[in-house]
Amino acid sequence: MLNTMPGLTTFYNIIYIILGVAALAVTAAYFREHQKYQKLVKDNPDQAIKQAEKESAAILHRALQRAQNILGQAENEGEQYESKVSAELSQAEAAFVKYLDSLRSKGNQLQLVSQQAIDNEAHQMFQRLEEKLTTSLQTTQQQSTAAIENELKNTRQMINNYKREQMALVDENIIAMLEKTIGLVLAKKISLQDEMDLIYQALDQAKEEKFIV
Protein backbone atom coordinates (compact mmCIF):
# COMPACT_ATOMS: atom_id res chain seq x y z
CA MET A 1 0.00 0.00 0.00
CA LEU A 2 2.89 2.38 0.82
CA ASN A 3 4.51 1.53 -2.45
CA THR A 4 1.40 2.54 -4.33
CA MET A 5 1.62 6.24 -2.98
CA PRO A 6 5.20 7.47 -3.38
CA GLY A 7 3.96 10.78 -4.89
CA LEU A 8 2.36 11.96 -1.66
CA THR A 9 5.70 12.09 0.16
CA THR A 10 7.28 13.94 -2.77
CA PHE A 11 4.42 16.47 -2.68
CA TYR A 12 5.03 17.36 0.97
CA ASN A 13 8.76 17.64 0.34
CA ILE A 14 8.09 20.16 -2.44
CA ILE A 15 5.87 22.20 -0.08
CA TYR A 16 8.61 22.22 2.56
CA ILE A 17 11.20 23.32 0.01
CA ILE A 18 8.99 26.16 -1.27
CA LEU A 19 8.30 27.39 2.27
CA GLY A 20 12.02 27.27 3.06
CA VAL A 21 12.92 29.28 -0.06
CA ALA A 22 10.23 31.85 0.81
CA ALA A 23 11.55 32.17 4.36
CA LEU A 24 15.10 32.70 3.05
CA ALA A 25 13.87 35.37 0.62
CA VAL A 26 11.97 37.18 3.36
CA THR A 27 15.04 37.03 5.66
CA ALA A 28 17.34 38.36 2.90
CA ALA A 29 14.91 41.21 2.12
CA TYR A 30 14.69 42.03 5.81
CA PHE A 31 18.49 42.27 6.19
CA ARG A 32 18.82 44.46 3.09
CA GLU A 33 16.11 46.80 4.29
CA HIS A 34 17.61 46.81 7.77
CA GLN A 35 20.97 47.96 6.34
CA LYS A 36 19.25 50.64 4.30
CA TYR A 37 17.40 51.70 7.41
CA GLN A 38 20.61 51.97 9.47
CA LYS A 39 22.22 54.12 6.78
CA LEU A 40 19.15 56.30 6.54
CA VAL A 41 19.02 56.67 10.31
CA LYS A 42 22.55 57.89 10.32
CA ASP A 43 21.88 60.46 7.52
CA ASN A 44 18.41 61.61 8.35
CA PRO A 45 16.89 59.93 11.28
CA ASP A 46 13.26 61.13 11.01
CA GLN A 47 12.88 60.77 7.34
CA ALA A 48 14.70 57.56 7.49
CA ILE A 49 12.34 56.24 10.04
CA LYS A 50 9.33 57.24 7.99
CA GLN A 51 10.86 55.94 4.81
CA ALA A 52 11.80 52.74 6.55
CA GLU A 53 8.38 52.23 7.95
CA LYS A 54 6.89 52.80 4.54
CA GLU A 55 9.24 50.47 2.77
CA SER A 56 8.91 47.90 5.49
CA ALA A 57 5.21 47.89 5.14
CA ALA A 58 5.55 47.60 1.35
CA ILE A 59 8.04 44.79 1.65
CA LEU A 60 5.91 42.96 4.16
CA HIS A 61 2.92 43.44 1.94
CA ARG A 62 4.76 42.02 -1.06
CA ALA A 63 6.18 39.20 0.96
CA LEU A 64 2.80 38.31 2.33
CA GLN A 65 1.31 38.55 -1.14
CA ARG A 66 4.01 36.31 -2.56
CA ALA A 67 3.69 33.85 0.28
CA GLN A 68 -0.04 33.68 -0.26
CA ASN A 69 0.51 33.14 -3.95
CA ILE A 70 2.94 30.33 -3.20
CA LEU A 71 0.58 28.80 -0.71
CA GLY A 72 -2.31 29.03 -3.10
CA GLN A 73 -0.28 27.44 -5.85
CA ALA A 74 0.90 24.72 -3.49
CA GLU A 75 -2.63 24.06 -2.37
CA ASN A 76 -3.74 23.80 -5.99
CA GLU A 77 -0.95 21.44 -6.84
CA GLY A 78 -1.63 19.43 -3.69
CA GLU A 79 -5.29 19.15 -4.54
CA GLN A 80 -4.44 18.10 -8.08
CA TYR A 81 -1.99 15.57 -6.81
CA GLU A 82 -4.38 14.31 -4.19
CA SER A 83 -7.09 13.86 -6.75
CA LYS A 84 -4.64 12.08 -9.03
CA VAL A 85 -3.51 9.80 -6.19
CA SER A 86 -7.11 9.21 -5.24
CA ALA A 87 -7.94 8.25 -8.81
CA GLU A 88 -4.96 5.90 -8.94
CA LEU A 89 -6.00 4.42 -5.60
CA SER A 90 -9.50 3.92 -6.92
CA GLN A 91 -8.10 2.23 -10.03
CA ALA A 92 -5.78 0.05 -7.92
CA GLU A 93 -8.65 -0.84 -5.60
CA ALA A 94 -10.85 -1.68 -8.55
CA ALA A 95 -8.05 -3.80 -10.06
CA PHE A 96 -7.50 -5.48 -6.71
CA VAL A 97 -11.21 -6.17 -6.35
CA LYS A 98 -11.24 -7.51 -9.89
CA TYR A 99 -8.23 -9.64 -9.10
CA LEU A 100 -9.93 -10.93 -5.96
CA ASP A 101 -13.05 -11.66 -8.01
CA SER A 102 -10.99 -13.54 -10.57
CA LEU A 103 -9.27 -15.42 -7.74
CA ARG A 104 -12.63 -16.25 -6.22
CA SER A 105 -13.89 -17.36 -9.61
CA LYS A 106 -10.81 -19.47 -10.18
CA GLY A 107 -11.15 -20.89 -6.69
CA ASN A 108 -14.73 -21.78 -7.37
CA GLN A 109 -13.77 -23.39 -10.67
CA LEU A 110 -10.93 -25.22 -9.00
CA GLN A 111 -13.24 -26.40 -6.25
CA LEU A 112 -15.73 -27.51 -8.86
CA VAL A 113 -13.06 -29.37 -10.83
CA SER A 114 -11.66 -30.88 -7.63
CA GLN A 115 -15.11 -31.95 -6.54
CA GLN A 116 -15.70 -33.53 -9.95
CA ALA A 117 -12.31 -35.23 -9.79
CA ILE A 118 -13.04 -36.50 -6.31
CA ASP A 119 -16.47 -37.65 -7.44
CA ASN A 120 -14.95 -39.39 -10.45
CA GLU A 121 -12.20 -40.96 -8.36
CA ALA A 122 -14.72 -42.10 -5.75
CA HIS A 123 -16.94 -43.49 -8.48
CA GLN A 124 -14.02 -45.34 -10.08
CA MET A 125 -12.86 -46.54 -6.70
CA PHE A 126 -16.31 -47.90 -5.94
CA GLN A 127 -16.41 -49.50 -9.38
CA ARG A 128 -13.01 -51.10 -8.82
CA LEU A 129 -14.05 -52.19 -5.36
CA GLU A 130 -17.22 -53.68 -6.77
CA GLU A 131 -15.27 -55.45 -9.52
CA LYS A 132 -12.72 -56.75 -7.05
CA LEU A 133 -15.45 -57.83 -4.69
CA THR A 134 -17.23 -59.60 -7.49
CA THR A 135 -14.01 -61.26 -8.63
CA SER A 136 -13.12 -62.17 -5.09
CA LEU A 137 -16.56 -63.65 -4.50
CA GLN A 138 -16.33 -65.61 -7.73
CA THR A 139 -12.85 -66.82 -6.85
CA THR A 140 -13.94 -67.76 -3.36
CA GLN A 141 -16.94 -69.56 -4.76
CA GLN A 142 -14.77 -71.42 -7.26
CA GLN A 143 -12.23 -72.24 -4.60
CA SER A 144 -14.93 -73.42 -2.24
CA THR A 145 -16.45 -75.55 -4.96
CA ALA A 146 -13.05 -76.94 -5.88
CA ALA A 147 -12.24 -77.58 -2.21
CA ILE A 148 -15.55 -79.37 -1.69
CA GLU A 149 -15.04 -81.42 -4.84
CA ASN A 150 -11.50 -82.19 -3.78
CA GLU A 151 -12.70 -83.16 -0.33
CA LEU A 152 -15.37 -85.38 -1.86
CA LYS A 153 -12.79 -86.93 -4.15
CA ASN A 154 -10.44 -87.52 -1.21
CA THR A 155 -13.26 -88.96 0.85
CA ARG A 156 -14.26 -91.27 -1.98
CA GLN A 157 -10.63 -92.22 -2.40
CA MET A 158 -10.33 -92.87 1.32
CA ILE A 159 -13.50 -94.97 1.29
CA ASN A 160 -12.22 -96.91 -1.72
CA ASN A 161 -8.84 -97.36 -0.08
CA TYR A 162 -10.49 -98.46 3.15
CA LYS A 163 -12.73 -100.84 1.22
CA ARG A 164 -9.74 -102.18 -0.69
CA GLU A 165 -7.68 -102.54 2.48
CA GLN A 166 -10.54 -104.27 4.26
CA MET A 167 -11.05 -106.57 1.29
CA ALA A 168 -7.31 -107.27 1.22
CA LEU A 169 -7.49 -108.01 4.94
CA VAL A 170 -10.43 -110.34 4.37
CA ASP A 171 -8.54 -111.99 1.51
CA GLU A 172 -5.49 -112.37 3.73
CA ASN A 173 -7.64 -113.89 6.45
CA ILE A 174 -9.21 -116.28 3.96
CA ILE A 175 -5.78 -117.30 2.72
CA ALA A 176 -4.50 -117.68 6.28
CA MET A 177 -7.48 -119.83 7.16
CA LEU A 178 -6.94 -121.84 3.99
CA GLU A 179 -3.27 -122.32 4.82
CA LYS A 180 -4.11 -123.35 8.34
CA THR A 181 -6.76 -125.78 7.12
CA ILE A 182 -4.50 -127.26 4.47
CA GLY A 183 -1.70 -127.48 7.02
CA LEU A 184 -3.91 -129.36 9.45
CA VAL A 185 -5.23 -131.66 6.75
CA LEU A 186 -1.84 -132.33 5.16
CA ALA A 187 -0.21 -132.97 8.53
CA LYS A 188 -2.59 -135.87 8.96
CA LYS A 189 -3.04 -137.01 5.39
CA ILE A 190 0.24 -136.48 3.56
CA SER A 191 2.53 -139.49 3.55
CA LEU A 192 6.25 -139.35 4.13
CA GLN A 193 6.86 -140.49 0.58
CA ASP A 194 4.69 -137.66 -0.74
CA GLU A 195 6.61 -135.19 1.39
CA MET A 196 9.90 -136.59 0.10
CA ASP A 197 8.59 -136.29 -3.45
CA LEU A 198 7.74 -132.65 -2.81
CA ILE A 199 11.27 -132.08 -1.45
CA TYR A 200 12.86 -133.72 -4.51
CA GLN A 201 10.64 -131.66 -6.81
CA ALA A 202 11.70 -128.49 -5.02
CA LEU A 203 15.38 -129.39 -5.32
CA ASP A 204 14.95 -130.22 -9.01
CA GLN A 205 13.15 -126.95 -9.61
CA ALA A 206 15.91 -125.05 -7.78
CA LYS A 207 18.49 -126.70 -10.02
CA GLU A 208 16.46 -125.97 -13.18
CA GLU A 209 16.12 -122.34 -12.13
CA LYS A 210 19.86 -122.32 -11.39
CA PHE A 211 19.09 -121.09 -7.91
CA ILE A 212 21.71 -123.56 -6.65
CA VAL A 213 24.88 -123.44 -8.74
Partner 1 sequence: MTQQVLDQILAETYTQTEALDKLRVLKELAVTELFGHGAKESNQTDFLKNFNRDNVYQIFDELEKEIRTIKPLTIFFPFEMSAAELTKVGKYLRSKFGSSFLFEARIDPNLIAGVALVWNGVYKDYSVRQKIADNQDKILAVLQEYIKH
Q: How many CB atoms lie within 10 A of CB 25?
A: 14
Q: Does 198 bind partner 1 (CB under 8 A)?
A: yes
User: Judged by CB under 8 A, which stretch of 25-33, 67-75, 123-131, 170-178 contacts partner 1?
Assistant: 170-178
Q: What is the 3-state secondary structure (H, E, C) of 138-201?
A: HHHHHHHHHHHHHHHHHHHHHHHHHHHHHHHHHHHHHHHHHHHHHHHHHHHHCCHHHHHHHHHH
CA angle 201, 203, 209 (to 5 degrees): 100
Q: Does 202 bind partner 1 (CB under 8 A)?
A: yes
Q: Does 178 bind partner 1 (CB under 8 A)?
A: yes
Backbone angles phi, psi at 124, to 5 degrees: -65, -40
CB 77 within 8 A of CB 11: yes
User: Judged by CB under 8 A, which stretch of 111-119, 131-139, 153-161, 182-190 contacts partner 1?
Assistant: 182-190
Q: How far is CA 210 from the centre of its chain?
A: 93
Q: Does 195 bind partner 1 (CB under 8 A)?
A: yes
CB of 202 to partner 1, least distance (A): 4
Rank residues 42 and 188 by Cβ distance to partner 1 and give the closer one. 188
Helix (H, G, I), strand (E, B) or coil at 115: helix
CA distance 48 to 34: 11
Rank residues 12 and 211 by Cβ distance to partner 1 and give the closer one. 211
# residues contacting partner 1 (CB under 8 A) = 26
CB of 165 to partner 1, least distance (A): 15
**Binding mask 51-90 vs partner 1 (x if CB under 8 A, - otherwise)?**
----------------------------------------
Q: How far is CA 130 from the centre of its chain?
A: 27
Q: Does 171 bind partner 1 (CB under 8 A)?
A: yes
Rank residues 76 and 201 by Cβ distance to partner 1 and give the closer one. 201
User: Judged by CB under 8 A, which stretch of 63-71, 114-122, 125-133, 197-205 contacts partner 1?
Assistant: 197-205
Helix (H, G, I), strand (E, B) or coil at 209: coil
Please report, as ranges, the residues that interact with partner 1 according to CB under 8 A: 171, 174-175, 178-179, 182-183, 186-187, 190, 192, 194-196, 198-207, 211-212
